[in-house]
Structure 1
Amino acid sequence: MNPPVHLVHVFPAGPGGGNPAPIVIDADGVDDDGMRAVARDRGHESGFVLTAPPESGCDYALRFWVPNHEMTMCGHATVGAAWLLDHLGRLDGDEVAFRTRSGRVDARLSGPADDRTVEISQPAGVVEPVDGRAVSEVLAVLGVTEDQLGPQPVLNASTSRVKTLVPVADVSVLDGLRPDFSRMAEVCDLVGSTGLYPYAPSDPERRTFDARQFPRSSGYPEDAATGVAAAALSFGLLESGLVERYDRPIRVRQGRAMGRPSEIVLRFARDGGVWLGGRVVMA
């Protein structure tokens, strides 16, 4: 069975921006090898929309594959799937619930038909410090010196998958990073992380930060926009005192160094979690 693959760009913030997400609707007949093949052929993390188990209380199930393996959760592919279902007239209203392997994810859509935005739920974050020896290894693989670090601690944070948050002094340091990708998986394993997420404040008064995502072993070296990493970052910023918990949005800009400018918008939720979202366009 070969259902069509729809390519959307999620979180675009300029020409050529956003994270490409191949999405397959009606993927019940696609087996694991077929899902992996889609991700490998397209070279991007891919989402597959399936029938939800009746007892789940969800509208659809979602699975995610990168070229190398399956993922339990992918923020940008979930946003892209919700937008695509709406775009294809497959939703009854402005909300949809997905069953993922990391748990239930709720999505809500807003805005006019020609410019819909999507937000998805993530649970409360878990934040832990990274010990000194491991920090040294993280800095070495990123090529960051001590004087290029920001004053905040290096943290492991997670809402779905653990990301290592590395504060750097400014955006110029962030843009100039040239990681040693040959050691990325080794260092991520050392700190118990699925990716390194260096960040810098670009406009703290407006709660705007720039970031880059270097995944452990997804089959590509850098990610243009990473929803679960941005969600983790929001709780790291909260822990470090750079933001407060209220409804004013946090904006995380990513992908500029790749020529794919992206922006993820986050809002703390009343239940202790966070909503993350942004725009989507059809490729």
Structure 2
Amino acid sequence: MDLTFRQMDVFAIEPFRGNPLAVIIGADGLSDVQMAQIANWTNLSETTFLLRPTHPDADYRVRIFTPLTELPFAGHPTLGSAFVWQSLGNTSKSDVIIQECSAGLVPVRRQADRLAFAAPPRRRIGPVGAGDLTHALTALGLASEDILDAQWVDNGPGWVSLRLCSRRDVLAIQPDWQALKEQRVGVVGAWDPVRDGTDAQFEVRAFVGDGQGWEDPVTGSLNAGIAQWLIESGIAPAHYVASQGAALRRAGQVFVDKVGDDIWIGGNVVNRISGTITL
């Protein structure tokens, strides 16, 4: 059996410097085991499978797999999957694309020359408990005085976020992957316009303790949770740009826009590979 395959470059401001995503189209006939095996084989941070929707308001359904597990929601897979669905000539039932995933329905819209998704409700918010905070600080080589604040920003993957003083502090982190274990920790720090420039206002890094541990290049779900936290608390303006990926020699930009009650997380999406995958 052959299925249509795409590999996307999401959140990139330069070619091949965003977060890659594999998309398998027409995957309704695949089993859970087959999806997991394919995602393990592509070995990208996420692989998505486009399916017929089950919800009457949805345009399509997506399942999102890492090499090790399935996620209820993730950001760059949402933008990449929506781009592929639209590129196949599909049109939405309304003025926005409605994606169905395990976390529910996620609106996606075109915003200038980018796509953006509406940040979904967080499953867990509030201060981080002492045990989880100590775990995160130890794994990232930080002391309590190195952070300004810590907050749960979990919209599905399980993110804890630490706010540091500066971009420089964020980029200086050297994680201990064994100590991180299964925790997912996002770190954010403000850019200094004089030292860092004005291309972005915040620097973000995402540390994932799954398996042997890894750093995600550009992370939509984490940026969505951080944006909700920072905007609600008055730390960030309603419109800003976050930079992510510099520590991995990537060049990702995430565009955050609060419109009414919704916070939209946007970025560039480019198709890099088109073909078929043979099962």
Using structure 2 for the length normalisation, give the TM-score. 0.86
CA contact (8 A) 1:129 1:155 kept: yes
CA contact (8 A) 1:225 1:255 kept: yes
Given residue 71 of structure 2, which amino acid in structure 1 is its aligned partner?
M
**Cross-structure match for 1:233:** 226
1:158 aligns with 2:147: no
Given residue 152 of structure 2, which amino acid in structure 1 is its aligned partner?
N
2:186 equivalent among 197, 213, 217: 197
Given residue 65 of structure 2, which amino acid in structure 1 is its aligned partner?
W
Instruction: Show the 5 A alignment for 1:267-282.
Output: 267-270=257-260, 272-282=261-271
**Cross-structure match for 2:13:** 13
**Cross-structure match for 1:192:** none
Q: CA deviation at 1:23?
A: 0.6
1:264 equivalent among 247, 254, 264: 254
The verdict on how the C-alpha distance between 1:70 and 1:133 changes in structure 2, with shifts beyond 3 A counting, is closer
CA contact (8 A) 1:56 1:99 kept: no
CA contact (8 A) 1:124 1:273 kept: no
CA contact (8 A) 2:167 2:192 kept: no
Q: CA deviation at 1:273?
A: 3.5
Given residue 103 of structure 1, which amino acid in structure 2 is its aligned partner?
G
Q: CA deviation at 1:146?
A: 4.0
**Cross-structure match for 2:91:** 91
The verdict on how the C-alpha distance between 1:176 and 1:241 changes in structure 2, with shifts beyond 3 A counting, is same
**Cross-structure match for 1:49:** 50
The verdict on how the C-alpha distance between 1:43 and 1:179 changes in structure 2, with shifts beyond 3 A counting, is same
Match of 1:49, SS?
strand
Aligned length: 265
Q: 1:260, 1:36 → 2: CA distance?
A: 27
Q: 2:208, 2:199 → 1: CA distance?
A: 28
Instruction: Show the 5 A alignment for 1:1-283.
Output: 1-44=1-44, 45-53=46-54, 55-91=55-91, 95-111=96-112, 116-125=113-122, 127-147=125-145, 149-150=146-147, 152-186=148-182, 188=183, 195-203=184-192, 208-217=201-210, 221-244=214-237, 246=238, 249-270=239-260, 272-283=261-272
CA contact (8 A) 2:149 2:162 kept: yes
Q: 2:120, 2:3 → 1: CA distance?
A: 32
Q: CA deviation at 1:133?
A: 4.3
Q: 1:134, 1:85 → 2: CA distance?
A: 38
Q: CA deviation at 1:223?
A: 0.5
The verdict on how the C-alpha distance between 1:252 and 1:74 changes in structure 2, with shifts beyond 3 A counting, is same
Per-residue CA deviations over 1:232-259 (Å, capped at 9, x if unaligned) read: 0012213543124x4xx22121111111
Per-residue CA deviations over 1:35-59 (Å, capped at 9, x if unaligned) read: 1122112111011110012x43211
Q: 1:203, 1:33 → 2: CA distance?
A: 47
Q: Can you give the 5+ residue segments of structure 1 that lack an aligned partner in the other structure?
A: 189-194
Using structure 1 for the length normalisation, give the TM-score. 0.85
CA contact (8 A) 2:71 2:156 kept: no
Q: Can you give the 5+ residue segments of structure 2 that lack an aligned partner in the other structure?
A: 273-279
The verdict on how the C-alpha distance between 1:94 and 1:258 changes in structure 2, with shifts beyond 3 A counting, is farther
Q: CA deviation at 1:129?
A: 0.4
RMSD of aligned alpha carbons = 2.3
Q: CA deviation at 1:206?
A: 8.3
Q: CA deviation at 1:218?
A: 6.4
Instruction: Could you list the structure 1 runs, at least 4 aligned residues long, displaced by more than 4 angstroms after superposition.
Output: 203-207
Match of 1:4, SS?
strand
Given residue 172 of structure 2, which amino acid in structure 1 is its aligned partner?
G
Work out the percentage of aligned pairs sharing the same amino acid: 25
